[in-house]
Amino acid sequence: MKVFISGAAGFLGSHLADAYTRSGDHVVGCDNMIGGDLQNLPEGIEFTEADCGDVEAMKPLLRGVDLVYHCAAIATEGLSVFSPAIIAKHVYENTAGLLAAAASERVRRFVYCSSMARYGTGEPPFREDQPAAPVDPYGIAKYAGELLVKNICDTHGLEHVIAVPHNIIGPRQKYDDPYRNVASIMINRMLQGKQPIIYGDGEQLRSFSFVQDCVDPLLKMGSLPGLSGELFNIGPDEEPATINQLAQILSDLLSFDLDPIYVADRPQEVRNAVCSADKARRLLGYRTKVSLREGLSSIVEWIKSHGTKPFDYHLPIEIDSPLVPATWRDRLL
């Protein structure tokens, strides 16, 4: 089978590429390298540095492809409140570009990686039959991408499946990005002897999913018959944790004397964002194999092996507002 993966040099995309190259499939991938790293690419992948929004660049890459995974996105939910244009381009517009190429090349199935930001302030645990109610530009763009996937695929005869992962963690996650990946940010700071910075009171509730626990159901979304049109939450609903609890687990793993720095809430941050994975358990045989503590331990070891890094403020803040967190405006991380 010939498989195409957008964001192949990124976090989730590279782990998916690993799985398919190991199984002997022909894997093609692209990445615009805003958040990717060439060291993440597995041997055997046919890789091109390109942007998904470039339809004419995508068409030859998708020639003869059976299955597309659209993992590429600038997944900076908090920053999207202040940088909606860059989010719209790299979430919604790039989805449109890749869909146009996929429909033109008659791809069989398109698997779209959405976000639980689609649920906004809905009633947790979020279930797939709840109406989407995003509250920030990232969630809006992700949900708009879902609507576009359904529209283009239904119109042009492509199968489509939508994945809604919980907060994914694991090795290869970008840990020098000040705008996303709370666990990796905390680890990078603690390893430098710095206290973690927590927005608000730290009682925001989240579920953190180890990357391989997401890859396994994604593989099934690409291969199992009868799934076209389905949407699946994937992630561990058995072990939610607050941001305060996350910091405590990391301090235990690192033998770090914890005294977090609390700063003001970020605008539009959802307080309780926990999904139900019942549907994935029922139809995909999903189950959690890696506990939160085990997953965090693997990130700690990976960051230790690669060395700490200064934070790279690589994305622009488009809206000059007093609501911009001082951590970003004054580069305090």
**309 - beta bridge partners?**
none
pLDDT of the chain, 333 residues: tens digit per residue: 999 999 999 999 999 999 999 999 999 999 999 999 999 999 999 999 999 999 999 999 999 999 999 999 999 999 999 999 999 999 999 999 999 999 999 999 999 999 999 999 988 999 999 999 999 999 999 999 999 999 999 999 999 999 999 999 999 999 999 999 999 999 999 999 999 999 999 999 999 999 999 999 999 999 999 999 999 999 888 889 999 999 999 999 999 999 999 999 999 999 999 999 999 999 999 999 999 999 999 999 999 999 999 999 999 999 999 999 999 999 999
Q: Where are the domains of the chain?
A: 2-169+209-234, 182-206+239-272+289-329
Sign of the dihedral through C-alpha 293, 202, 273, 311: negative
| Residue closest to 71 by CA, chosen among 30, 117, 121 | 30
The DSSP output letter for 126 is B
Give the integer Cα–Cα distance in Å for 324 and 269.
Answer: 13
Give the integer Cα–Cα distance in Å for 307 and 202.
Answer: 27
Give the integer Cα–Cα distance in Å for 136 and 84.
Answer: 9
| Residue closest to 318 by CA, chosen among 76, 102, 57, 4 | 76
Q: Encoding tokens for residue 242?
A: 């607050």
pTM of the predicted structure, to 2 decimals: 0.97
Q: Are 265 and 203 in contact (CB under 8 A)?
A: no
Domains 2-169+209-234 and 182-206+239-272+289-329 share a fold: no
Quickly name the fold that domain 182-206+239-272+289-329 has: UDP-galactose 4-epimerase; domain 1 (3.90.25)
Q: Are 219 and 19 in contact (CB under 8 A)?
A: yes
Length of the chain: 333
- For the domain spanning 2-169+209-234, the CATH number is 3.40.50.720
